[in-house]
Amino acid sequence: MKLNILIGGKAGQGIDTISKIISNILVKQGYFVFNYRDYPSLITGGHNFNIISFSDKKIGSFKTKFDGIVSLDKKTIKIHKKNLKKNGFIIHFKEFEKNEKDRKNTNIILAGALTKILGVDKKYLIQEIKKQFNNKETISASEKGYESQKNKFNLKKLKNKITIMSGTKGIVQGAINSGIDIYFAYPMTPATGVMHKLADKQKTHNLIVFQPENEIAVANAGLGASFTGAKVMVGTSGGGFDLMAEALSFQGMSEIPLVVYLASRSGPGTGVPTYTSQADLNIALGEGHGEFPRVVIAPGDPIECIEKTNEAFYLSQKFNSLSIILSDKHLAESEFSTDRKPNKILKIKINRKIPGKEIVKANSYEHDVFGNTTESAEITKRNAEKRIEKYEAIKKECEKFEMIKIYGKKESKNLIIAWGSTKTVILDAIKGLDFKFLQVLYLKPMSKKIKKEIEKANNVILIENNLTGQLGRLIREKTGIKIKNRILKYDSRPFNLDELKKEILKIK
């Protein structure tokens, strides 16, 4: 059983509220839910829509055709009706615009109407409304919507125990699990969500969120706080990450631990700022001048966001190094449900020299063992070699973690390789097909197992949300193998299930 429902309207009409109410109700009924958000860079107006896909089985993508449309304006029906299935339903705002009170609570009314169409008992709707709003007006509005419709799908309550969260929430939880002390960021979609959610948790988890004047200040303030012994993460998107380049090199020389959350969006330049892309892998791998070690990790779902953020903190603290967590708008802002719990939290207990307790020097110049500036050729050579030796130690430590994951038919000769947010749609697309999927979680360092898996396969397909196949280029650099079959999407939208499955079967 799978249903695909679009909820659309103008920015500011409460589309996310409807989606949240319905998603939470469905999860509590034991259904797996995927909630995709699509919106332009506007505060009000324009055309926004969410697509809620749900099933009694695991799901992490949406389809082109809709079982229903919930419309808060005329534009939504005009744009999307062509993709409504033959027996699909439409709930339109016009049904409830007769009086001012209804207009004020149209989104709540529509949430109630959709709950009834799905065939969920009204008590679960009221429970959710009370949890989110807890006032008579919204309860009454939801009941009005519920009573206005007929049961169409008669959903039964299932026994699955499921949680739902966005990639943003996963990053936040991973940082809290790691004992974060302070988070520095300047607002930039789609990284801003982490700043807001961590700010909400300052008192309950004894942490600080601080917004400096720009991303240059963010990265340097992060290094300054880390120098004092704090566990620090900084966050940004592509343009802000570019501004941090010099500070990243400062980290490489000073060896002050730093964790960076990089949530990608479409570029170059301002690009398409509220949409998605996997085009920032290259800068994550190489931003900053000089040669120094770093770790680049790309989770593919919110549970992995929790786990890999924890690993990023652990590695940064243990090796006084740079860890970059690479995400994107699609993973950050979509909501994914799961019945899997995160791995055990890695405890970070590192004995570091703290300024104030003893003399500690951190220098952006080449320096001797005491932190004093030097231009000695001998010391310069030795320090460069030490940085490379440290990277070898980091690589060995990373092998303790899941650097790759294998899904699908383990003995299949058809191999798909991908990373990051493409994970869940690929898993949906290969169900029932003779395919194996290799998910790359650690992009730097890269697992040696990747080459072995490619060599075992007869048909290898690279899937990425960028124009040039940046993971494919990295694999060629590390293994000497060029992956010829590529499915690349670079229109700033994520893959949907229909189009990806069609492209996979073309190559097979």
Residue 143 has pLDDT above 80, yes or no: yes
- Which pLDDT band holds residue 100 (cuts at 50, 70, 90)? low
Question: What percent of the chain is modeled with pLDDT above 90?
Answer: 91
Whole-number Å distance between alpha carbons of 394 and 322: 11
| For residues 100-126, average pLDDT | 91
Residue 187 has pLDDT above 90, yes or no: yes
- The β-bridge partners of 54 are 3, 33
Q: What angle do CA 355, 358, 362 make, to 5 degrees?
A: 45
Output the CA torsion sign for 127, 128, 134, 138.
negative
- Which pLDDT band holds residue 324 (cuts at 50, 70, 90)? very high
The answer to whether the beta carbons of residues 66 and 60 sit under 8 Å apart is: no
| For residues 407-417, average pLDDT | 96
Whole-number Å distance between alpha carbons of 288 and 233: 18
Question: Which tokens go with 113?
Answer: 């109407």
| Residue 210, SS3 per DSSP | strand
- Using one digit for the tens of pLDDT, what is the confidence trace for 153-181? 999 999 999 999 999 999 999 999 999 99
- Burial class of residue 66 in the structure, from the number of CB atoms within 10 Å of its CB (0-12 exposed, 13-18 middle, 19+ buried): buried
List, in order of start, the domains of the chain with CATH numbers: 2-147 (3.40.920.10), 165-369 (3.40.50.970), 404-507 (3.40.50.920)
What does pLDDT average to over the chain?
95
Residue 96 has pLDDT above 70, yes or no: no
SS3 content of the chain, % helix, strand, coil (to 5): 40, 20, 35
Residue 421 has pLDDT above 90, yes or no: yes
pLDDT at 93: 83
pLDDT at 201: 97
pLDDT at 131: 93
Whole-number Å distance between alpha carbons of 181 and 36: 31
Residue 362 has pLDDT above 70, yes or no: yes
Q: Specify the range with the lowest mean pLDDT, choosing from 81-85, 354-358, 464-468.
A: 354-358
CA distances, 51 to each of 36, 68, 150, 266, 312 (Å):
5, 10, 22, 21, 32
The answer to whether the beta carbons of residues 196 and 248 sit under 8 Å apart is: no
Query: Which residue has tokens 């310069």?
Result: 380
Residues 6+ apart with CB under 8 A from 118: 3, 22, 26, 152, 153, 155
Whole-number Å distance between alpha carbons of 316 and 390: 12
- Burial class of residue 190 in the structure, from the number of CB atoms within 10 Å of its CB (0-12 exposed, 13-18 middle, 19+ buried): buried
Residue 119 has pLDDT above 80, yes or no: yes
Residue 347 has pLDDT above 90, yes or no: no
| For residues 210-223, average pLDDT | 98
Pick the closest to residue 50 from 78, 25, 16 (CA basis).
16
Whole-number Å distance between alpha carbons of 393 and 381: 19
**What ranges in 182-301 are assigned the alpha helix state H?**
192-200, 202-205, 215-227, 238-243, 245-254, 281-286
Residue 117, phi then psi, degrees to nearest 5: -60, -40
- Using one digit for the tens of pLDDT, what is the confidence trace for 231-290? 999 999 999 999 999 999 999 999 999 999 999 999 999 999 999 999 999 999 999 999
Whole-number Å distance between alpha carbons of 34 and 303: 14
Strand pairing of 442-444 and 294-297?
antiparallel
Question: What percent of the chain is modeled with pLDDT above 70?
Answer: 98
pLDDT at 142: 94
The answer to whether the beta carbons of residues 111 and 5 sit under 8 Å apart is: no
- Using one digit for the tens of pLDDT, what is the confidence trace for 14-69? 999 999 999 999 999 999 999 999 999 988 889 999 999 999 999 999 999 999 99
Residue 73 has pLDDT above 70, yes or no: yes
The answer to whether the beta carbons of residues 256 and 248 sit under 8 Å apart is: no
Whole-number Å distance between alpha carbons of 134 and 136: 7
pLDDT at 97: 67
- The β-bridge partners of 3 are 54
